[in-house]
Structure 1
């Protein structure tokens, strides 16, 4: 079939499917794109041709196109979609040469850090080089084949540049293999030189046949299962930590059965929250730097940690201080060997669901007596108080979280990413559904919230989607409100105005840096930003971008506003100003943020002393 490279890419992607447990779905749900001189004549032409001829030509296949307002944002939308789809489907993203393509770098980093599949198609320099250097081309003295897109190499799980049309089939097949391999997935980048995109070639017809990528469920190797069971049998105070893999593998039922059969308490990571409902009799909440005091006490005392689908980030391990028992051992159930062997663990390389089912059989006669229920009851009372604090005159952030949690139905979704809110959410949010809690905290990317919410809504339009965003994040990528409005996507955006980077302000204070440079204020006479707050009206900004806006001054206003937003049939921004200094309960844990070893500031010296004391608890877990 004679097609341009771009036409071949579109036709191929439109015919890819995934399958798991007998359920098939389109692997590439569509393509996000912003067009410029690198892709408008290539991928752009291929997309419009597919759309205009799909009904007339049975050989033509439509690949739905969506227009973003920022290239980074469209990758975030693809990542949000992929996470909601349990990594069984995603979007492709096309961008023009130069800054259009490099705008996607942050999105690529987020996807790969979070093990989420996204397909990136950045446009590239002329393969022929006859007019070099072309507009926006990077020139380096040491290599003629280097472009700005080489920056994608360390951020991608697979990278290729299509210099000739003949290279395309192998590259496309490799891209799909990596995208939908649970152990390998992340950003996949295929760079497309702008002249090559428009070149015609006789591609084999077989390339465009309907192709199904089977996403398997690897089962544990028997000897590894026996070793893991032996460790658990020898435990006195085990703790299970559910990570994102428990959600992506749809392991909630297996996790419930394992916990009930063994009596082992279950904590969760940011990505694993919701794997068990918050009121499950064996759920003890988040663990680590943003976890609950109950889970962190159990972590300190545990002699065996069973990690299911977790990559053990520094927040989960409280920077290697969470697991304080000198005899602690680890059993890790993970589809990725790399993660399974972390912390010198007994690794069970398997799908999370299959691993839990196998472990349940292997330790069927082992039970542990729970002793945390009274502590959990007391903790839930503290959560109730924090979420209904009666703080004033401005609401506390914990009250905003409580109001949104109350407004959220069991199947609704909260989307968040950066600042102090992910920590407060992990501590306080009560999730009932594995897909209700969508907090991107692997990369903690400011600006993800609204773009990610777009992807979540596209993945499941039946759910209400609440994007909870602080003013710092909002100002970095508010323009995707326009995207949601254009596509008729109903979102509820809860815009929290706290006049700057409140979480970093608190962190700055804790390390002795006195909240320097963390507030949105006028520059004062001493060249510091110590003047009054800036008169920024973010509600008016949201309204100007096409959103309906509800302004709230109190918690009662917020509750009413959220109810009105739920009843609305369009995107609504609920704006509320909060007190950035309002308190939340302590996680009774620690996070390693180095403090200056020498300083003329007393605040920094005091913070250094505290840091050195806390750091003594760190362990290598060898």
Structure 2
């Protein structure tokens, strides 16, 4: 008999346990385990199956959104060759995962979600936490996952499971189509038994290809490169996911074409490579923005051209500029009217390198790039430098410098939101392709600590430095508990900004004076939130979650805290404060478009609107 009787949940876990991927003749087990929080919608189904199959490791999370962030960070560190499953109950547990689902899909990172769902039989209707509709019975809150999932299904009968699991794996392992996969599991169906084919549970290896564009397109691309005078590579996350850093370095050294890096692509080359101009776009270096503006050929490798990368469509000002995109995703490859090379970054660069042969850019151009690289590093060093003063709080850039100087070459800095990402993008001296971990596709406050946990699980031999402001910390700090439970040490740099410092600065630049962005009491006289600062003790909060807490009152304290935390085996929070309003300037003519009110009685708003109009005149559409 070639069949075995299992519950739907047991079949799912048994199937997932035997899924592998192969790339470059190396096998990877695709699922490293399951994060979960149990409720009535999954405890008797998926919960029972995980209990029955302990070899499929279960990790107890504290927040459903956070566990998706951890899964995303894990797969990001693994270059999409391994991921996690996340399961929740029906209702709020499920909808809590929607933010994480959007984050994964936007960042092109695979994660599998198994939310509980309403009864398929509808014998009891409505059930607890059911969303009722007057127009249809075939709906639940899980339908909200549809727009943020790359594949979505609801398993209303056990017979549907086999084809759905195979479709899910196709999407999860696809370099071009990956993102969130959501399989909604009605709670009664989860526990229902069925005679499944034994073949479903055999070891299955999903091959990850390295497609190469057609030869004719490669020849056209090479011709475009040879004709250009000032080509520039924008290195995106696809470089890292393809593990193409070494090949990119060879390509750049051979051709003399400089690069700049997106948030996701930072680390594509070491920071001190003479042809690395550093951060691109709105949070870019002066060299990257100058050359972006002058370049006649932009070579986008594995980038989706977000508004930060393009400085809201103002970065590329050369009238003759053209685009050449190398991307495994057809959707991204065709952006900006580009000559599109749809293929793997590593294999495509190898093919182009061979065709270009002895081509190289003008030596004077290369000399200029090297000079811009060196001059920028001097600015970084100046931003890192702290002049000893016991009465002066360090600046944010000086804190970044202290962490960077203390960390090892393979250690990881991790961040997601606030003013830190922009400063880190410009200032962090990345020495390893996985040393810079920024979630900036969704820039999700609350990702940081949960993401740090996932990154540490994926690379336990690396130190993970989570840099976070108080706004993000207060949104989601609970996975400190999970890190301690599982023995995954994080070093969390908690900077108290007394509110949303980044948005406060943005608000002031728009003429709205930082309204609603500080953590202050309601002023009984003005009626506004402009009273004294709230007495929130973040250090005691972190201590109550089980972390070791070190309070650093100045730079000497902070440097000593880094040394102390390195020796401590469990998660450590270094609490510090920085000087307010000391963020780095923008360099070159970089800009990020945020709407300004067209009419206002406030002169600051009127002035901000005029500045926006001036920049909008530089915006270009490339067709």
Give me the TM-score of the superposition, normalised by structure 2: 0.97
Describe the superposition over 1:46-95 as per-residue Cα deviations: whole angstroms up to 9, x where unpaired.
110112xxxxxxxxxx2100000000000000000000000011000000
Q: Secondary structure at the match of 1:372?
A: helix
Q: Secondary structure at the match of 2:103?
A: helix
- Residues 80, 452 of structure 1: 8 Å contact kept: yes
The CA distance in 1 between the partners of 2:248 and 2:598, in whole Å, is 45
> Which residue number corresponds to residue 59 of structure 1?
none
- Residues 117, 185 of structure 2: 8 Å contact kept: yes
> Which residue number corresponds to residue 445 of structure 1?
444
Describe the superposition over 1:155-186 as per-residue Cα deviations: whole angstroms up to 9, x where unpaired.
00000000000000111111111001010000
The CA distance in 2 between the partners of 1:179 and 1:377, in whole Å, is 41
> Which residue number corresponds to residue 227 of structure 1?
220
> Which residue number corresponds to residue 398 of structure 1?
397
Q: Secondary structure at the match of 1:86?
A: coil
2:18 to 15, 20, 23: 15
The CA distance in 2 between the partners of 1:46 and 1:10, in whole Å, is 7
Displacement of 1:372:
2.0
> Which residue number corresponds to residue 378 of structure 2?
381
Q: Secondary structure at the match of 2:611?
A: helix
- Residues 69, 454 of structure 2: 8 Å contact kept: yes
> Which residue number corresponds to residue 534 of structure 1?
534
Q: Secondary structure at the match of 2:53?
A: helix
Q: Does 1:30 align with 2:33?
A: yes
- Residues 272, 373 of structure 2: 8 Å contact kept: no
> Which residue number corresponds to residue 483 of structure 1?
482
> Which residue number corresponds to residue 263 of structure 2?
270
Describe the superposition over 1:1-31 as per-residue Cα deviations: whole angstroms up to 9, x where unpaired.
1000000001000111111111111101000
Stretch of structure 1 that moved more, 256-265 or 574-583 = 574-583
2:347 to 344, 351, 354: 354
> Which residue number corresponds to residue 5 of structure 2?
2
Q: Does 1:591 align with 2:592?
A: yes
> Which residue number corresponds to residue 553 of structure 2?
553
- Residues 423, 583 of structure 2: 8 Å contact kept: no
Displacement of 1:569:
1.0
- Residues 152, 182 of structure 2: 8 Å contact kept: yes
Q: Secondary structure at the match of 1:197?
A: helix
The CA distance in 2 between the partners of 1:297 and 1:344, in whole Å, is 22
> Which residue number corresponds to residue 604 of structure 1?
605
Structure 2 counterparts to residues 317-332 of structure 1, below 5 A:
317-332=310-325
Describe the superposition over 1:366-394 as per-residue Cα deviations: whole angstroms up to 9, x where unpaired.
21121222222222111111112438622
Q: Secondary structure at the match of 1:289?
A: helix
> Which residue number corresponds to residue 56 of structure 1?
none
> Which residue number corresponds to residue 116 of structure 1?
109
> Which residue number corresponds to residue 292 of structure 1?
285
Displacement of 1:580:
2.7
> Which residue number corresponds to residue 297 of structure 2?
304
**Unpaired runs of at least 5, structure 1:** 52-61
Q: Does 1:523 align with 2:522?
A: yes
- Residues 30, 64 of structure 1: 8 Å contact kept: yes
Displacement of 1:555:
1.4
Q: Does 1:213 align with 2:206?
A: yes
Displacement of 1:361:
1.4
The CA distance in 2 between the partners of 1:404 and 1:141, in whole Å, is 56
Displacement of 1:452:
0.4
The CA distance in 2 between the partners of 1:604 and 1:506, in whole Å, is 14
The CA distance in 2 between the partners of 1:191 and 1:34, in whole Å, is 15
Describe the superposition over 1:257-292 as per-residue Cα deviations: whole angstroms up to 9, x where unpaired.
110111111110000000100001211101100110
> Which residue number corresponds to residue 435 of structure 2?
436
The CA distance in 2 between the partners of 1:136 and 1:587, in whole Å, is 51
> Which residue number corresponds to residue 463 of structure 2?
464
The CA distance in 1 between the partners of 2:563 and 2:180, in whole Å, is 38
The CA distance in 2 between the partners of 1:210 and 1:448, in whole Å, is 33
The CA distance in 2 between the partners of 1:29 and 1:314, in whole Å, is 34
The CA distance in 1 between the partners of 2:550 and 2:496, in whole Å, is 13
Give me the TM-score of the superposition, normalised by structure 1: 0.97
Displacement of 1:322:
0.3
The CA distance in 1 between the partners of 2:487 and 2:227, in whole Å, is 56
- Residues 220, 354 of structure 1: 8 Å contact kept: no
> Which residue number corresponds to residue 58 of structure 1?
none
Q: Would you say how many aligned residue pairs link Structure 1 and Structure 2?
A: 612
- Residues 158, 187 of structure 1: 8 Å contact kept: yes
2:75 to 66, 75, 82: 82
Structure 2 counterparts to residues 570-589 of structure 1, below 5 A:
570-588=570-588, 589=590
Describe the superposition over 1:215-248 as per-residue Cα deviations: whole angstroms up to 9, x where unpaired.
1111121111111111111100110111000000
The CA distance in 2 between the partners of 1:142 and 1:233, in whole Å, is 61
The CA distance in 2 between the partners of 1:282 and 1:610, in whole Å, is 33
The CA distance in 2 between the partners of 1:420 and 1:429, in whole Å, is 14
Displacement of 1:586:
2.4
Stretch of structure 1 that moved more, 380-389 or 325-334 = 380-389
> Which residue number corresponds to residue 617 of structure 2?
616
> Which residue number corresponds to residue 281 of structure 1?
274
Displacement of 1:134:
0.3
- Residues 427, 587 of structure 1: 8 Å contact kept: no
The CA distance in 2 between the partners of 1:579 and 1:611, in whole Å, is 28
> Which residue number corresponds to residue 420 of structure 2?
421
- Residues 522, 530 of structure 2: 8 Å contact kept: yes
The CA distance in 2 between the partners of 1:608 and 1:285, in whole Å, is 30
> Which residue number corresponds to residue 240 of structure 1?
233
**Unpaired runs of at least 5, structure 2:** none
- Residues 281, 289 of structure 2: 8 Å contact kept: yes
